[in-house]
Amino acid sequence: MLVIDKITKTFNPGTINEKQALKGLSLTVNDADFITIIGANGAGKSTLFNAIRGKFLTDSGSILLDGEDITLQPDYVRARNIGMLFQDPMLGSAPGMTIEENLALAAGRGGWFGRISKADRELFRERLSLLDMGLEDRVDSLVGLLSGGQRQALTLMMATINKPKLLMLDEHTAALDPATAEKVLELTKSIVRDNNISCLMVTHNMQSALDLGNRTIMMDQGNIIFDTSGEERAKLTVNDFLLKFKEAAGKALDSDRMLLER
């Protein structure tokens, strides 16, 4: 369970570029929650993710993951329990190393001087075959030679090879072609479901925001303005959703991309 309590973050304080990106945001993510997040550009979605994974420390407030206070932990320590995928498929893997070497680093078995064992290789092949992309026969290929979709699928595998307590997806299919995006999304759903991982997912597609997962939150100006789940959410249409936004934010949702993808 992730408990975020009134976190704030101001970028460039005291300068002309000062921006209050998170304004006392609170959120509780229950175990096995799959939450979709939507909001206009600059609403603070990515900032929220970066605060949770520790890219920066928040100015105030606290973040608890399964009861452990991670507010001041450095990012690489939090990464033990938090996996993250970005929109750019190039960010999650090392292009100059092979598929197997990338997976070995993510799996992190055998101590500092451990080497890739036969059992590791079997495990990697087995996991890769789940992707159904033929990567299990290319474990010695350099990751830099893979397509964007393959790299994103591999990153997903790396992020979940040790079951994380929380998986954060920042529009991780937005840079892929529609067919590949669909495939990576299906993979994401099955991995999250099979392993019972709590998941936060940013999307610009409102229909999939309502279709995926069990809960949807809407963000605006550094805070959560609308949080829906259960029956209420099941009845919502995209149009209701737009109205809700107008109601809560006091203005129309003005993201062209979001409206285009309705």
Partner 1 sequence: MDISSIISLIQTSVELGLVSSLTVLALFLSYTMLNVCDLSTDGCFTLGAAVGAVVALSGHPFLSIPAAMLAGVTSGFITGILQTKMGIDSLLSGIIVNTALYSINIAIMGNSSLINLNKTETVFTMLKTALGGTSMAGMYKAVISVIAVAATVIFLALFLSTRLGLAIRATGNNPDMVRSSSINPVFTTLVGLCVANAFTALSGCMLGQLQKSVNIDIGTGMVTMALASLLIGRAFLGRGKITTRAIGAVLGAVIFRIVYAVALRFNMPAFMLKFVSSVIVIIAISGPYLKSRIPVIKRRLSAKKARA
In contact, 164 and 82? CB cutoff 8 Å: yes
Out of 14, 96, 178, 250, point to the residue binding partner 1 (CB under 8 A).
96
CB of residue 165 to partner 1, shortest distance in Å: 13
Q: Could you tell me the two tokens for 146?
A: 């893979």
User: What's the gap between Cα 125 and its chain centre?
Assistant: 24
The interface with partner 1 within residues 99-158 (CB under 8 A) comprises 101-102, 104-106, 108-116, 158
Residue 163 binding partner 1, by CB under 8 A: no
Nearest-angstrom CA–CA distance, 214 and 57: 29
CB of residue 78 to partner 1, shortest distance in Å: 8
Site string for partner 1, 43-82 (x = CB under 8 A): -------------------------------xxxx-xx--
Out of 58, 93, 150, 198, point to the residue binding partner 1 (CB under 8 A).
93
Report the DSSP pairing between strands 166-170 and 198-202: parallel
CB of residue 107 to partner 1, shortest distance in Å: 9
CB of residue 126 to partner 1, shortest distance in Å: 20
User: What's the gap between Cα 50 and its chain centre?
Assistant: 10
Largest CA distance in the chain: 59
CB of residue 110 to partner 1, shortest distance in Å: 6
CB of residue 257 to partner 1, shortest distance in Å: 25
Nearest-angstrom CA–CA distance, 247 and 262: 19
Nearest-angstrom CA–CA distance, 173 and 149: 8
Q: Can you tell me whether residue 9 is helix, strand or coil? A: strand
Q: Which stretch binds partner 1 (CB under 8 A): 5-13, 88-96, 208-216, 234-242?
A: 88-96
Helix (H) or strand (E) segment spanning residue 107: helix 99-107
Nearer to partner 1, 29 or 116 (CB): 116
Q: Which stretch binds partner 1 (CB under 8 A): 22-30, 91-99, 171-179, 248-256?
A: 91-99
Nearest-angstrom CA–CA distance, 65 and 97: 32
In contact, 99 and 154? CB cutoff 8 Å: yes
Out of 41, 56, 94, 145, point to the residue binding partner 1 (CB under 8 A).
94
Residue 62 has what DSSP assignment? E
By CB under 8 A, name the binding residues for partner 1.
Answer: 74-77, 79-80, 83-84, 91-97, 101-102, 104-106, 108-116, 158-159
